[in-house]
Amino acid sequence: MNCNSVKIFTLSLLAATGAYAQKTAVDTVLHLKDVTISALRENDFSNSTHLLHFDSLQRASYQTNSLAELLAGESNMFIKTYGVGNIATATMRGSNATQTAVLWNGFSISNPMLGQTDLSIIPSYFIDKISVEPGGGSALWGSGAVGGVVQLNSVPEFDKGWSLKAGASFGSFGFYQQYAQVKYSNTKWYSSVRVFNEQAKNNFLFHNHTLEFNPLQRQEHAQTKAIGLMNENVFIVDDKNKVSLALWWQNDNRQLPPTVIQQVSEAVQQDKDLRITAQWTHNNHNSTYAVRTALFNDQISYDDDLSKIWSNSSTYSWITEAEGKWNVGKHRIISAGINNSLNLAEADNFPKRINQNSFALFISESASFFRDKLQPLVAARQEFSTQGFAPFTWTAGLEYRLIPKLSFKMNVSEVFRQPTLNDLYWVPGGNPDLKPEKGRTADAGIVFRQNDKTKLLQWQMEGTVFNRQMKNQIVWLPSGNYWSPQNIQEVWSRGVETNSKVSIKIQAVNLIANLNTSYTLSTNQKQISGNDASLHKQLIYVPLYFANASFAVQHRNFLLRYSFQYTGYRFTSSDNREYLTPYRLHALYLSYKFDVKKVNADLFLQLNNLAEEDYYVMQNRPMPMRYLRTGFNFKF
């Protein structure tokens, strides 16, 4: 399906559904709240873990940025980015990119070949609700939810009529972006179309740390182009049944710049993604049922004339789920379901077309006792795949409210991750005898919060300690003339996280402050060979210390927001002898909103790396010094 056909299909669908909604709106009047499109178990089985959401001010500050930049600046996650416009992946609590699950409307969007999601090509503007849930989630979400889960969900708004939102932004290094959203809704139908177009040269200046005197150089061969479209539809059939359909198409083209030790690069990569989901939900008085399905197609084309490497890959994922949720009495909720995932993959480095299928059974129960003071939960999952039985996983946790403003949380989980298709079948080196990674994770925390929304002072402070031990972790090692993966590493991750938010309202002025910190010790516990110096050493690219903070002042239509990010030492060698120095980033965001007749408009200015920090997130991959973005939005 090419770009034009996707656009025609989606716009036709929007027009047809809008017309149908107008025709049927007079039949029944339903007073509906906004709904979140997600898996049933997401909202009722996360009370024992920390769940981080982003408010409107945080989202506004990153409206022109990718999901990777939002998560790096506003959460405890460390984002491993290979440069502006280049691949970016997440690490949570010392995990690697393949141990972090990214879900869109309840479905994992990780590439089955790579086992990870490139967060740099997901525009934050495309997602209504973004939340981060650290800790083991394999019992609820399956393979890969070891370090944590990033939830991307849609939030349809009903009975709002027509609306149009659009904007444009411009910035340093040839950056410009246009985006628009058209929505229609009545009491029974919601439909939305979002589009964006983005380009950047990314020809920023940087200091080359590998040369004497750190000379100033300009980044070359780093241009990026992206275009995307998302269409979402929700139809309220009656007071018991709801149907939703969503489509997400995106095309990203980027030049892959040379490292600082290379003179030139000719590598280019194209990512094409098509995601389609559908869901039927049935609500009774004491139960809810859902049948959901998704079809994902990921295509990656990599060409490097200089290295004589031309590689193409394509994967199809067909995921189907059926689940139910039952209110058992006044204080218990039980959820159970099945999941079937079929992955088909073709690649130049695969010996044949790969078919991989997995089937899972899962069940969860949450309860509430002593007037909601005690809220325990348990969950279990068993998967069967083409490679055999996956490890049995479970979760047990609770939240106990000690006093109205103080709660205690704890959670223990068994977690696992299946080998990726590249791990199993890549030629040369793939190892079909690999076992799943498995381990156990536990965390406990204290939450202080102001629950009275009428107060002028609102605050929440949370501290969490965590511990995770993993076995059979997959590592690619030299094997003759090529590299091959082996189940050989054992990793122990432990640490402390804090999350704090305070807001004060003084007449027409709002003051909002956020602070997130983390200390993560993640060490190798098994010696791979006799001369292996990595034993008990920190894993590479896992910072010991990480923190970000922000302070915002909002007065009527004006907003001023300052943010700060600190990233500590990252070791670049397994023996911890080589490392990258810490860096500190300062940013400023200003906006002004105003109305012109029926149009709501705002102007904004974003200044990044104010202090012109000279830094590298990954070795030999430079990052830009000070740069800016500015633009406008309007809503009709």
**Long-range Cβ contacts of 393-401 (<8 Å, 24+ apart):** 393/138, 393/139, 394/139, 395/136, 395/137, 395/138, 395/139, 395/140, 395/364, 397/47, 397/48, 397/49, 398/48, 398/374, 399/47, 399/48, 399/374, 399/375, 400/373, 400/374, 400/375, 401/372, 401/373, 401/374
User: What pLDDT score was predicted for residue 17?
Assistant: 38
CA distance 472 to 436: 7
Collect contacts of 526-535 with beta carbons under 8 A, ≥24 apart: 526/488, 526/489, 526/490, 528/475, 528/477, 528/488, 528/489, 532/574, 533/574, 533/575, 534/574, 534/575
pTM of the model: 0.91
Q: Do residues 376 and 397 make contact, with C-beta atoms less than 8 angstroms apart?
A: yes
Domain boundaries, the chain: 3-635
Give me the amino acid identity at 333: I
Q: What is the pLDDT of residue 33?
A: 52
Supply the pLDDT for residue 35: 64
Residue 456: predicted pLDDT: 87
CATH code assigned to 3-635: 2.40.170.20
Instruction: Supply the pLDDT for residue 46.
Output: 67
DSSP-assigned beta bridge partners for residue 167:
179, 633
Give mean pLDDT in consecutive 10-residue pieces for the chain, a chain of 636 residues: 40 38 38 61 69 88 92 94 90 93 94 95 93 91 93 92 95 95 95 96 94 92 96 95 97 95 93 97 93 97 92 96 92 94 95 94 93 93 90 95 92 95 94 95 93 80 96 90 92 96 92 96 89 91 96 95 97 94 97 91 96 94 95 92
Q: What is the dihedral of CA 41, 45, 47, 49, to 10 degrees?
A: -100
Residue 579 tokens, joined: 């490392």
Residue 102 is predicted with a pLDDT of: 95
Report pLDDT for 45: 66
